[in-house]
Amino acid sequence: MQTNLSLPCTSSAHLFSRDYYIRVTPADLEGLELRHLFSYLDPSVARDAPGVFRDGRAGVYAGSTEWHGLARGGQISLAWDWVRHDDGHILALKRVAPRTNLQLLDHAGYDLPGVEHVAELWRFLDGVAWQRHILATLNSDPRLL
């Protein structure tokens, strides 16, 4: 006996989950407004940055930054590591994936695989003007000047 069972499929079924991730498409990121929560120095982050600095040293300053916002009615958090290059530029440390409660979806509404998910997050973060907050963190401590 053959039974054909048809269930309605809607993309909104994939947007909410019990795993506490907020699911959005990469296109949804474009309208996302992030607010700086905090940034801090963390010398252990520099250990993940060999080769970032021209002279091979582990770097003078490194740390993490965390941002928050709203997406699909839920509070989201997005954090990543940064290093200050020896020429003064502040860069995201892309060897370590951003930490977030966002899960990006593909065009069919399914979770993007890890590598694609991370690449889309970095693409989005490349458009966020976050470096000035790191400079403010560094400038707030006279011992760092």
pLDDT tens figures, 47-105:
776 666 555 554 568 999 999 999 999 999 999 999 988 778 899 999 899 999 999 99
Q: Tell me: domain 18-144, CATH 3.40.50.800, correct?
A: no
CA–CA separation, 10 vs 32, rounded Å? 23
pLDDT at 5 over 60: no
pLDDT number for residue 85: 80
Instruction: Return the pLDDT at 141.
Output: 74
pLDDT over 50 at 6, yes or no: no
The pTM (predicted TM-score) of the whole model is 0.80
Name the percent of the chain lying above pLDDT 70: 77
Q: What mean pLDDT, rounded, does the chain reach?
A: 83
